[in-house]
Structure 1
Amino acid sequence: MPIPAAPKPDHAIPKPPAESDVLQRRRILVPGRFEFEPTSRWVRGIVGDVALVDSRHQILVWEPGYKVPEYAYPSAHVRTDLLVASGEGEEPTGPPSEAAVKTPSSSDYWRPRWPDVQWFDAVVGGRTIQRAAWKWNVPGLEDFIAVSWYPGVLDAWYEEDEAVHTHPRDPGNRVDVIPSQRHIKVVVGGEVLAESRAALVLFEHGLPTRFYLPREDVRIDLLDEVPLVTQCPYKGYTSSYWRRKGTQRDIAWTYGAPVHQVSAIKDRIAFFNDRVELIVDGEPFVDSPKTWA
């Protein structure tokens, strides 16, 4: 049944309420100390045909100052017989050095950042993976081992039977995909690249609102497809990015094989809000602020 139309209201973003002792804006906080949360997912880390990690009960660990967690497994859930202490001065194939990390988003992902850790190499089937695992030298974590999720260290990670990429999922994060009949128009340089009333709107905790459009509503003839793969633990692997013909700037992307929870966005095209003119219901789209100014 169609949703009845209402008189056109003012859709301007409202001024935020004044904060007080009884009313505060909800904030994404990073811990000022080590924090942990027990979980009972079936987690496996694979090298070749060997499960280096096979755990059904583990903890998520947040390091001080960082919002992305890491799994820590009881030693009995890790093939410690395949781990050897890392040599001094080895160059890791795992997490990048502080100097190699240039952006806040990437520096937030790669554990560990805590300086006092014990590193281990993994020796599996003739392969030596330097600094594949570690222990935090922190009271209470002595019996837990963390294993790197940095892309390319292990061959694959699974939660239950679903492949997970980049870093463990934070249980506090949420992604919702909702169909919308709002009129979406995408314009670049005065040229309409897409127009749709069949968008899927993806809301991801703390990130911009994204409109995933059916491919038939996008002027593919005006775009060049770039085979670029990026990873997201909540959405999966992208299959390609898109540029306006004759330019070198990516303005859109596609997930060819998204994870189950967001499978509806498969093969749809989403545009960077800040790299195009995004018009929604006839007005420039202004997203709700993720933090109030």
Structure 2
Amino acid sequence: MTAAPNLQPREATAPRLVNVLHSPKRVRVKFGGRTIADSRNVLVLRSNHFLPIYFFPPSAVDPSVLKPSLHREPHAVGGETAYWDIDSGDKRAANAAWSFTAPPDENLAPLAGRIAFTWKAVDQWFEEEEEVFVHARDPYARIDVLQSSRRRTRPRHGWNS
């Protein structure tokens, strides 16, 4: 992982900048009344041309709800994406989960095999214990204080000592 570049401005003519970061948060996805993804090992794809995207390790996603789709399309950062339908039994969303078939360059290699969800296709997103609306939070755009079920302690001599 490389250091996070400044991703502003977000103008159509701006050069495309992307980076992948580890999220320090527990992230969960709910669909059809059940949790379909839950991980403390989520990666965030950031760009100056689209909103942040969470990528889950396959082991954190309930495989019983993913049904392979024939849909494929190119992604804005390059490379092809493969899709899955989500089917919880009571509810179905077409092409709602996806991953890169092969990450287009070495900067995106950590995303290989990881699964992302189309934000509006699922019912709820949670960071720690807080529901998130609209899009994933960019860890470099603001500071968030979130309710968490995890015990966090501050080091005696500060975070950066």
Q: TM-score, normalised by structure 1?
A: 0.39
1:239 to 50, 59, 82: 82
Contiguous gaps of at least 5 residues in structure 2: 1-7, 139-161
Question: Does the alignment pair 1:265 with 2:108?
Answer: no
The structural deviation recorded for 1:243 is 2.1
Q: Which residue of 2 aligns with 1:278?
A: 125
- 2:49 is matched with 206
Which one-letter code corresponds to 1:275 in the other structure? A
1:221 aligns with 2:55: no
Aligned equivalents of 2:76, 2:66: Cα separation in 1: 27
1:265 counterpart letter in structure 2: L
Letter in 2 for 1:200: L
> Following the alignment from structure 2 to structure 1, what is the Cα–Cα distance between the partners of residues 113 and 10?
31
| Alignment match, 1:181 | 24
Q: What SS does the corresponding residue of 2:120 show, helix, strand or coil?
A: coil
Aligned-pair CA distance for 1:281: 1.0
Q: Measure, in 2, the Cα distance between the counterparts of 1:274 and 1:248.
A: 10
In structure 2, the partner of 1:254 is: 99
Tell whether the 8 Å contact from 1:226 to 1:243 is kept in structure 2 after alignment.
no
Structure 1: gaps spanning 5 or more residues = 1-25, 30-66, 69-170
Residues 208 and 233 of structure 1, relative CA distance in 2, 3 Å threshold:
closer
Q: For 1:234 and 1:267, locate their aligned partners in 2 and report how far apart those are by CA, in whole Å.
A: 16
Q: CA deviation at 1:233?
A: 4.8
Structure 1 pair 250–240 and aligned structure 2 pair: CA distance change class (3 A): closer
Whether the 8 Å contact between 2:18 and 2:45 is mirrored in structure 1 is yes
User: For each residue in 1:168-213, what CA deviation from the matched residue of structure 2 results, as whole angstroms up to 9, or x when unmatched?
Assistant: xxx6121110012310110012211010000011112131211100
SS in 2 for 1:263: helix
Alpha-carbon separation, structure 1, partners of 2:104 and 2:24: 24
CA pair 174-217 structure 1, distance change in 2 beyond 3 A: same
Aligned equivalents of 1:233, 1:206: Cα separation in 2: 8
Structure 2: distance between partners of 1:220 and 1:274: 20
What do the CA deviations read for 1:17-61 (whole angstroms, capped 9, x no partner)? xxxxxxxxx7644xxxxxxxxxxxxxxxxxxxxxxxxxxxxxxxx
SS in 2 for 1:216: helix
User: What is the match of residue 39 of structure 1?
Assistant: none
- Residues 280 and 235 (structure 1 numbering): CA distance in 2 closer, same or farther, change over 3 Å? farther
Report the secondary structure of 1:173's partner residue. Answer: coil
Higher Rg? 1
SS at match of 2:71: coil
| Equivalent-residue separation in structure 2 for 1:245 and 1:190 (angstroms) | 8
Moved segments of 4+, more than 3 Å:
26-29, 286-289
Residues 1:206 and 1:217: Cα distance change in structure 2 (over 3 Å): same
Higher RCO structure, 1 or 2 (CA under 8 Å, sep 6+): 2
| Matched residue type, 1:236 | G
C-alpha spacing 1:221/1:196, structure 2 compared with 1 (3 Å): same
CA RMSD of aligned residues (A): 2.3
